Amino acid sequence: MNIKMKRDLLVAFLTTVAVAGLHAQKKFVMLDKVVAVVGSSAIMHSEVEDLANQIVEQRRAEGYTSDRDPMNEALENLLMRKLLYNQALIDSVSINTGEVYQNVESRVQALVDQEGSITALERKNHMAIYHIRELLRRNFEEQSYAAAMQQEVISKINVVPGEVERYYRNISRDSLPIIAEQYVYAHITKFPAGMEAAKRRTRERLLEMRERIVTGKTSFSTLARMYSVNPSAIRGGELEPMQLAGFVQPFADALSELKPGQVSEVVETEYGFHLIQMIDKKGQMYHCRHILLRPTYSDDDIIRPMRELDSIADLIRKDSITFEAAAAKFSDDKYSKMNGGIVSNHDLLERYSAFDAKLTATKFLKEDFGLGGGKSIDDYNAIRVLKEGEISPAYRTKDLMGNDLCKIVKLVEVIPSHPASLDEDYLRIEQMALVDKQQRMFNEWINRKIDAMYVYIEPEYRDGEFINKNWVK
């Protein structure tokens, strides 16, 4: 059988599957069509159209304009995703299925809220909620595999100092990136007063819940929906099956000791306190549900450390003690207290990657504060009104894991925006050089995979402006 016959049969089969799925809905909806095939994955016209609409909305939100046809840009993005997804399956790349499940449920809930009810959502999409959830699961899973495959490729690439210097020398002086204003600051932190009492109250609440569960008075899932502060609460605390490595250590240790249906004792992690119930275990995959509670504090528990910090700040302003000495004596932050209170990204490195001292940074851009940046927006709001050397009033905030704490900050230095230099901005230039090398080598890898993998694009979709010309064979 020649390639053209195989292609025609594959496209016909995929189109038939799509049409059959639509007929199974027993709804009068427009039939979809296959516009491209990568490996064993089809790209439907509706997928391209949906992504193109998202691209247009993103451009509008960012005030960005482009001469490129959004349909063509969407198609190339999907070609890349499907290729990475198929290669990930070939290479047995693993993903965090629990994260996929959480993304699906969050998206479903957002869609339900947007439409007002599950019935309204089903009516709008001409399909049952379980089908909507399944389509979202496939989409998020495919994206996760694609991202994991890309990370698998680029994670093996690094740069040495010589490459960083060559990269910097090859940038024309007029094209040097401008490093925006940066902040160096220090802090002294205090956890709320009565923290041990608050932890004890939290443990007692969970022990009461455990008693209700094991005596059959209330189901685990009901209590999870009512009281858990984890996003899984909407699913009765249920998490997607995953290997033990996908859970934080104390949680994993407790889970490994449970039998199906059994409920753990109270487990403390950096996220708070948990009750865990094993649902089942298949091979190395653990399926469980949990209830998460965090300690809660009274107004007085918060006011007391706030007053203490304000008193410390007054002593520093009167030169009765230096900020550095006060941090060492009073701060609860183990990462900074012996370093003059200077804030770094040490906690972020330790939490999300293998710690590497050379990656430690103490200069922060405005975008480093807030969601995803690693530093609290409360910190930025405090330091942006200070002059160098000034100390803020005490304020309440949360740490990286969402735990309550109070702090004062000192603005140590404001570094004005400037063209990047090796002396002042080595880490950022090193990161730029690494990204540049990763992109070049990743593109070479993609071209090899395009040549090795089956890729077909319907003729009417081949004339667009593809950045990678190898897609059209």
Residue 3: pLDDT over 60: no
Tokens, residue 69: 């046809």
Strand partners, 187: 409
Backbone angles phi, psi at 113, to 5 degrees: -60, -40
How many whole angstroms separate alpha carbon 82 and alpha carbon 141?
11
Residue 8: pLDDT over 90: no
Which pLDDT belongs to residue 351?
A: 65
Residue 314 CA to its chain's centroid (Å): 39
How many whole angstroms separate alpha carbon 464 and alpha carbon 234?
44
How many whole angstroms separate alpha carbon 237 and alpha carbon 98?
12
Nearest to 182 by CA among 433, 418, 427: 418
Residue 106: pLDDT over 90: no
Instruction: Give the long-range contacts of residues 388-391, CB within 8 A, separation 24 or more.
Output: 388/412, 388/413, 388/414, 391/313, 391/316, 391/317, 391/323
For residue range 36-92, list pLDDT tens digits in order: 999 999 999 999 999 999 999 988 888 888 888 999 999 999 999 999 999 999 999
Residue 243: pLDDT over 90: no
Residue 136: pLDDT over 50: yes
Strand partners, 272: 269
With a CB cutoff of 8 Å and minimum separation 6, the contacts of 162 are none
Give the confidence band of 4 by pLDDT, cuts at 50, 70, 90.
very low
Are the CB atoms for 126 and 120 separated by under 8 Å?
A: no
Distances (CA, A) of 45 to 2, 42, 334, 457: 26, 10, 54, 12
How many whole angstroms separate alpha carbon 206 and alpha carbon 276?
11
**Averaged confidence pLDDT in the chain:** 87
Percent of the chain with pLDDT over 90: 63
For residue range 19-46, list pLDDT tens digits in order: 333 333 434 344 689 999 999 999 999 9
Q: What is the mean pLDDT of residues 141-159?
A: 94
Which pLDDT belongs to residue 423?
A: 87
Strand partners, 404: 398
For residue range 256-302, list pLDDT tens digits in order: 999 999 999 999 998 899 999 999 998 888 999 999 999 988 888 88
With a CB cutoff of 8 Å and minimum separation 6, the contacts of 430 are 159, 164
Of the listed ranges 174-188, 362-376, 401-415, 438-452, the one predicted with least confidence: 362-376
Distances (CA, A) of 181 to 117, 185, 267, 420: 46, 13, 43, 12
Residue 167: pLDDT over 90: yes
Q: What is the mean pLDDT of residues 217-223?
A: 96
CB count, 10 Å around CB of 214?
11
How many whole angstroms separate alpha carbon 24 and alpha carbon 272?
45
- In single-letter form, the type of residue at position 425 comes to D
Backbone angles phi, psi at 205, to 5 degrees: -60, -45
| Domains of the chain by start residue, with CATH | 3-157+458-471 (1.10.4030.10), 181-194+298-416 (3.10.50.40), 195-293 (3.10.50.40)
Q: What's the length of the chain? A: 473
How many whole angstroms separate alpha carbon 356 and alpha carbon 361?
11
Residue 201 CA to its chain's centroid (Å): 31
Which pLDDT belongs to residue 12?
A: 39
Residue found by looking up tokens 């410390």 in the block: 312
How many whole angstroms separate alpha carbon 87 and alpha carbon 81?
10
Which pLDDT belongs to residue 258?
A: 96
Are the CB atoms for 379 and 333 separated by under 8 Å?
A: no
Tokens, residue 249: 């250590």
Beta strand 455-457 pairing with 364-365 = unpaired
Give the confidence band of 427 by pLDDT, cuts at 50, 70, 90.
confident
How many whole angstroms separate alpha carbon 175 and alpha carbon 55?
28
CB count, 10 Å around CB of 42?
22
